[in-house]
A and B are shown apart, each in its own frame.
Chain A
C-alpha cells in the first residue's frame, strides 16, 4: 500500500519526458522518472520517498531498443532483465542480471532502473564497468553520450531532470572470456554477499564487485595487483583485499569478516578460471 497520492505521466518521446520533468519540478511536485517501478513501490510502501509525480519512461521508443548498430550493441534503459537474459546479446550481462531478484521481479525490473536505483547492489552495472560501456543520457540540454566511468561512481551521477536512455557497448567485448559469481547468505534468491564479474582482455583480467562494499565498483588498483605476474595467486588476493575502496559491508546478508572470506574464495575461483591462456 502506497500511503500517498501522486500523479502519473507516460510520455512517448524523450523531449516530452524532459519537458514534463521540468514542468512538474517547477510546480514543486518533486517528480521522479521510473521504468520498471519496483523500487518506487519498495520505497513508497515504506514511506521513504514522497514523489508528487512519477514519469513512466516505458513508452519512449529509444528506451526500448536492443540492437546492433555497426560495431556497437545498443540496449535501451527500459529493457527488462528477463528480456535481456532471454535474448542474450551480451552473455556476461545476461548472467549477471539473471541472478538479480526473482523471475517475477525480473519481468519488471529494467536495466536502467537497476543501475540508477537506490538499492545499493546495482549488479547490472558490473559488466558495463568492465567493458567501458558508454551511456546515452537525455536532459534539458539535449542528449549526450559519455563513458560509464564519467557518470557512474558508486552510483549514477545524473543531474536533475536527466535520465538514462541507452547503454552502448563495443561489440568486441561481447565475445571475451568472462566469469560471473554471485554468492549469497544461503539459497538461490537474494541480495549478494559477493557478486564478482570478470573478463579478460589482452591477457589482462578485469574485475568488478557488488555486495562487498555499500556500492558496486571496479578498481584499477585491484586489477593491477591481480595482473602482477610477480605475485602468487594467494599474494594477489591478500594484496587486493587491502585495496578495497571502502569498509566491507555488514548487513542482514552477512558480516564483514565472513564477506571477506567469501570474497577471497571467489577471487580465487575467478583467477583460476581466467588465468593462463
Chain B
C-alpha cells in the first residue's frame, strides 16, 4: 500500500524544533571572538552631509572600527543601482545609515554609534508620491541618468520617476465612446512595515583565503551571493551564504541591505566575524518597508455593465531608493485592471522617489495596492449602474480567450476559473440569503467583496535546481534552495518528491536551512513561485533518480526499464508487481552474489527555468510577464458602531483557484495568515510622518498591528483548476490571501457608513472624518 503524499496535511519537518524552542535563527548564532556592528542613522528626511565627526566614537574602549560611506563608495540596488549602503554626501530618508561602528560588544557599538556627530544642511522634503510628481518638485536623485541598470527599468532623469510602465491596449476613444456610464476615483494607501516577528540580522566573516561567509535572515541567499560578488569584486564561488530558518519576512527580507553593511563591517576589522542585528525601531524604518500608492482610475461601461474602458495612473511611494519598488510598479501595471475583461486600457504605473524610507517587495507585490484601487472603482461602478457588486464582477470576469492588459491570451490553464470562485464565495458568505447591509439600532452589519488575480513578475529566466540523494537504506535527502520562511515550502516539496517516488514522505530528509555552497540555486523565495520552480526541479530530479533505479534494476531483473515501476520501496515488473527488487539494494549500486557491482549511488538532479516569458514592450506593455494567474474572490463582513465609528471585523472569506492543493493545512494557514496581514494593514498600519519627514511611530506600541483575539472568523476554500505546467497542477498561493482584504474591508465599510472610504488605514477616526467631511 503506497501512502499518498500530495493532498495530505503532513506536519512541518521543523515542528519539533519550533515547538521546543530549539530552532536556530541567525541571531542565535554566536562564536568566540564575534564582533558586533551598529549603525548611526540620519535624523533628517533630506539633507546634505556637511561633515561627520567620528572622534568621540573612537574614544570608547572596545571600538574596533568606525566607517562612513567613503570607506567603500559603491551604489547598490536592483534593477536600478541608486543606493549607497552607507549614505554619501546626502541623506534621503529618516533612518538612513550614515556611519557604522564595530566593537567587542553590542552595547559598546551602540554607545559609539550614538556619539557620532554629523553636521547636516537641510534640503526640502518630498512628502508624498503626488508631491514628487509635480513639475517643480525638488529632485531627490540628481544623477538618475548615470545609475547602472540591471533588468528592465525606465527611469526619467530630471524627475522623481524611478520607473514608468505603460500599458496601451485597444483604442481609448472607442472605449469612451461606447461607455454609457463612467466613474472616477482616487485611492491612496500609505507606506507601512512588514513587521516580521524576527528582526533582520546578518553575520559576515572574510577568511584569510578571501572566502566570504555570510549568515542572513533572507529570502534571497543566492542574490546575496551575487550582490556581494558584484559589488565588492569577489569571485562568486568564494561567497557562501547560509540562511537558517527565517522568522517571517513577507517580502521584506528579499532585499539586500544588512548584508552589504555587515560585509563592510567585517572588511573594516580585517575579516573578523561581525554580526549586525536590527533593533525593532531600525527594522521598521532603516530597513526597507511596504510600498504606498496614490492611484487614479477612470472606468467606463455600457448600460448592461460591461466594462469597455479603463484609464489608470499609479503613483507608487517607492521612498528614497527604488529597489523592488520599480518592479512592483510594473507588476501593478501588468495586472492593473484586476481580473476583468477590458478591451481598452491605458495605464501609467510609476515608481516615485520620495523622502520616505525605501520600499521593497511586500506580500502581494503591488497587488493588494492595485486591487484596493480597482475594486473600489468596481463598487462605485456597480452602484452607478445599479448592479449587484458580485453580479458586475461575474459579468466582467476574465477567462479563456480574453486578453490581459499586456495582451497575453488566456486559456483555462493559465488563468483558472474565476466565475467558479465567485459562485463558491456567494454560497460561503450567504450573499443571496441576507441583505448586504443590515441595520440594528446603532449597529450596522455590512458585507464587502472583491476579486483578485496575480501573476508573478520575475526575471524571465528565474529558475531553480534540486538534487535527490538516495541513502543506503532507501531513504532520501532532498537538497534545494527554497528558504523556509514559515510557509512550509520545504516540507511541501518533500510531499511532491514522495508522490513522484511513490514513497513515504517521512523517509525524506530536508535540512531547515539553505547553504549556497551545497544547495542548488533557487532564484529567490518570493513571488509565490517556490513550489512551482523548485517543485518542477524536484520532479525532474525524481524522474532522473527513477531512471537510474530502473536502469540498474532492468539488468538485475531482466526487464527493459520501460517495463518497470518504482514505488513502495521497490522496483518491480509492471505486469507482475510481485517480481521486483528492494530500492535499498539498488541505491548504492547493485552487488551481485559474486561481488561484482553495477551502477553507483543514485543521485537525481533536476532544474527548471520558466519558459516563454518576455520583456514588456516599453511603449505598449505588450509581452508575457509571468506563467499563470491565481484568481480568487474574497469577502469581509463588518459590524459598524455608528455612535463612535468603531467596527468589528466579523468574518473574512477567501475562495481561490489553487490549481492543486498540495498540503491542505498549509494552504489554509497560508491564506489565513495573508488575510490577517491584509486586514491588519488595511485597518491600522501606517507610518506617521511629521512636517520634517521624521517618523513618529517607530515602535509597536504606537504602530498598531492586529492582535490575537481581534481576528474574525476566517473562511477559506479552494477551487482546483490545474495549471498544466505546474507540479500536479499547482498554482502560487503564498501571497494571495492578502490581496483583496484591504479592498473588501473598504467596500464593506463604505457600504456600512454610506460614504466612500478610499484611503488606508481605515481607523475609526478616518471613518469619522469621511462622514464629518461629507456633511
Contacts and interface: CB of A to CB of B under 8 A. Distances in A.
Interface in A252-272: 252-255, 258, 261-262, 265
Contacts of A262: 644
Given A4-B111, A252-B688, A252-B696, A190 B704 contact: yes
A106 interface: no
Contact of B110 (A1, A187, A252): A1
Contacts of B688: 252
Contacts of B643: 265
B717 interface: no
B764 A186 contact: yes
Query: Among the interface residues B111, B279, B696, B764, which one has the most CB atoms of the partner chain A within 10 A?
Result: B764
Interface in B676-716: 683-684, 688, 696-697, 701-702, 704, 706-707, 709-710
A191 interface: yes
* Chain B binding surface SS class: loop
A2 interface: yes
Contacts of A4: 107, 111
Nearest to B115: A3
Given A252-B696, A255-B765, A262-B644, A187 B107 contact: no
B683 A186 contact: yes
A67 interface: no
Interface string B16-27: 000000000000
Given A1-B107, A4-B107, A252-B696, A187 B706 contact: yes
A1 B103 CA distance: 14
A260 to B, nearest CB: 11
A265 B644 contact: yes
A7 B467 CA distance: 56
Given A185-B765, A262-B644, A252 B114 contact: no
Contacts of A261: 768
B763 A188 contact: no
B114 A191 contact: no
B544 interface: no
Most chain B CB atoms below 10 A, which of A1, A191, A261 = A1
Contacts of B106: 1
Contacts, number: 54
Given A2-B107, A265-B643, A187 B768 contact: no
Contacts of A252: 688, 696-697, 702
Contacts of A258: 765, 768-769
Interface string B737-763: 000000000000000000000000001
B67 to A, nearest CB: 19
Contacts of A47: 114
Interface string A236-251: 0000000000000001
B644 A183 contact: yes
Contacts of A183: 644
Interface string B293-336: 00000000000000000000000000000000000000000000
Contacts of B704: 185-187, 190
Interface in A1-50: 1-4, 45, 47
The interface size bin for chain A is 20 to 34
Contacts of A251: 696
Q: Which of A251, A252, A255 has the most CB of B within 10 A?
A: A252
Contacts of B644: 183, 262, 265
Nearest to B110: A3
Contacts of A3: 107, 110-111, 114
A254 B766 CA distance: 10
A45 B106 CA distance: 13
A158 interface: no
A252 B701 CA distance: 10
Nearest to B698: A46
Contact of B684 (A1, A185, A265): A185
Contacts of A191: 701-702
Interface residues of B, number: 26
Contact of A187 (B697, B707, B765): B707
A188 B279 CA distance: 25
A14 to B, nearest CB: 32
Nearest to B765: A258
Q: Interface majority SS on A: helix, strand, loop or mixed?
A: loop
A220 interface: no
A2 B683 CA distance: 33
Interface string A165-200: 000000000000000000101111111000000000
Contacts of B707: 187-189
A252 B695 CA distance: 10
A1 B764 CA distance: 35
A54 to B, nearest CB: 16
Contact of A190 (B701, B764, B769): B701
B679 to A, nearest CB: 11
A187 B710 contact: yes
A63 B517 CA distance: 59
A183 B709 CA distance: 17
Contacts of A2: 107
Contact of B279 (A1, A185, A254, A255): A1
A259 to B, nearest CB: 9
Interface in A204-236: none
Contacts of B769: 258
A6 to B, nearest CB: 11
Interface string B189-207: 0000000000000000000
Contacts of B646: 186
A185 B110 CA distance: 33
Interface in B88-127: 106-107, 110-111, 114
| Max chain A C-beta neighbours (<10 A), residue from B688, B697, B702 | B702
A45 B697 CA distance: 15
Nearest to A46: B281
Contacts of A45: 279
Nearest to A262: B644
A106 to B, nearest CB: 14
Given A4-B111, A187-B684, A254 B702 contact: no
A43 to B, nearest CB: 12
B463 to A, nearest CB: 41
Nearest to B763: A186
A89 to B, nearest CB: 27
B644 to A, nearest CB: 5
Nearest to B643: A265
Contacts of B683: 186
Contacts of A265: 643-644
A170 B110 CA distance: 49
A262 B645 CA distance: 10
B647 to A, nearest CB: 9
Interface string A152-169: 000000000000000000
Contacts of A1: 106-107, 110, 279
Contacts of B706: 187
A115 B769 CA distance: 34
Contact of A185 (B111, B696, B710, B764): B764
A187 B769 CA distance: 19
Contacts of A189: 707
Nearest to B764: A186
B760 to A, nearest CB: 12
A254 B697 CA distance: 12
A121 to B, nearest CB: 11
A253 to B, nearest CB: 7
Contacts of B279: 1, 45
A262 B688 CA distance: 21
Contact of B710 (A188, A253, A254): A188
Contacts of B107: 1-4
A183 to B, nearest CB: 7
10 contacts: A1-B107, A3-B114, A183-B644, A185-B764, A186-B684, A186-B764, A187-B704, A189-B707, A258-B765, A265-B643
Given A1-B279, A186-B684, A265-B643, 4 more contacts: A45-B279, A185-B704, A191-B701, A258-B768
Question: Closest 3 A-B residue pairs measured CB to CB?
Answer: A3-B110, A3-B111, A252-B702
